[in-house]
Structure 1
Amino acid sequence: METSKVVTIPNHWTLPKYSLGQRTKQGMIVGVQYCLFENLVVPERDGSWRYAILVSTEDEQVEYISEAGVQLPPEKELRLEIEGEIDFCQRKIENLTQYLEAV
């Protein structure tokens, strides 16, 4: 059972444009970080959001992209991708069900 977590964002920060789990052209958002002006790790240091995007599930490759660099896929493309995942999961359930019946 998953527990819900609440994240509080300070009032003086802008709200992130994208959310965890959202699909982008680059991959799926798996992390969100606010980059303060004084943050020396991020070259932009512009007080904006940066997103950790899982670009490859095979080797768990993650890239960090600024909010301006995030690109959303067209709705039709997104729909086809999700339908493909649903079909894959349904086939996997059918295979597991058959395996369970054989045991």
Structure 2
Amino acid sequence: MLPTISIPQHWDYPRFALEQRTKQGIILGLHYYPSGTELAEQFGDGWRYALMPNKNSDELFHFQENQIQPLTPEELFRQITAEIDFYQQQISILQQQLAVVIGGSTNG
């Protein structure tokens, strides 16, 4: 069973999803500041998102919904194919290392 998140009916629905890639980075979290609350008065009401600029970053940035720009389909395609290429190279390196280990253990 997939986990379910319930959003109160009087809240706006978030525009972006968890793990969505955007021009600012990957969305790792989101929270809502309801209007009329102290946090909303201080930071603005609505959805705020926690984003990591890239997967190797140790920084986390917070943006209001209107500050986030989605990737175009072409940008998303390029990002994902570049990541696939990277992991395919990593798999190839690991397969070579495994071949050495297997070859070395049969020769001993």
**What is the one-letter code of the residue matched to 1:63?**
F
Q: Computing the radius of gyration over CA atoms, which structure comes out larger, 1 or 2?
A: 2
Counterpart of 1:76 (choices 69, 74, 77) is 74
Aligned partners of 1:31 and 1:53 also within 8 Å: yes
- TM-score, scaled relative to structure 1: 0.85
- TM-score, scaled relative to structure 2: 0.81
List per-residue Cα deviations over 1:35-65 (Å, max 9, x = no partner): 122143772332x111001014434211100
Counterpart of 1:35 (choices 14, 33, 36) is 33
Gaps of 5+ in 1: none
Equivalent in the alignment of 2:104: none
Q: Are residues 14 and 34 of structure 1, via their aligned partners in 2, closer, same or farther at CA, if it must alter by over 3 Å?
A: same
Equivalent in the alignment of 1:62: 60
- For 1:28, what is the secondary structure of its paired residue? strand
Counterpart of 1:98 (choices 87, 96, 102) is 96
Report the Cα distance in structure 1 between the residues aligned to 2:49 and 2:6, rounded to whole angstroms: 17
**What is the one-letter code of the residue matched to 1:70?**
I
Pairwise CA RMSD:
1.9
